[in-house]
Amino acid sequence: MPRLTFLPDGKTIDVRPGTTVLAAARQAGVGVRTRCGGVAGCLMCKVKVLEPDRVSPPTESERRKMGDAVDGERLACQTKAAGDATIVVPEDPLKAAVRRQLERQKEDDALW
């Protein structure tokens, strides 16, 4: 049974072969952004697969949308588990903006 590890959360889940990375992330409680419902329409669910040979090859829909995958970047909704793999989920843009603002505020507070 394939084991997927999601970074930076560090969550790991065992899934059946053929389970999409998006479905596995949801089962593990890892937030992967999507708007299209998993049909390769929105391109919001981009993740980086560190072991690209341990997941399914890109689907035709995925190739049309993304072109040639760069550095293991894939769509979570189209990528299926075939073996143990590590998936890097990018930080949500809103969370990143809030984190940066909090860091700036902390720096400003340190000046006083």
pTM attached to this predicted model:
0.82
Which tens digit of pLDDT belongs to each residue from 7-39? Answer: 999 999 999 999 999 999 999 999 999 998 888
Report helix, strand or coil for 50: coil
Cis omega before residue 58 (within 30°)? no
Cα(74)–Cα(84) distance, integer angstroms: 16
| pLDDT at position 25 | 97
User: Could you tell me if 55 and 86 are in contact, meaning their C-beta atoms sit under 8 angstroms apart?
Assistant: no
Cα(18)–Cα(7) distance, integer angstroms: 20
Which tens digit of pLDDT belongs to each residue from 50-96? Answer: 999 999 999 888 888 887 766 789 999 999 999 999 999 998 888 88
Q: Is the dihedral of CA 13, 23, 33, 71 positive or negative?
A: positive
* 3-111 classified as CATH 3.10.20.30: yes
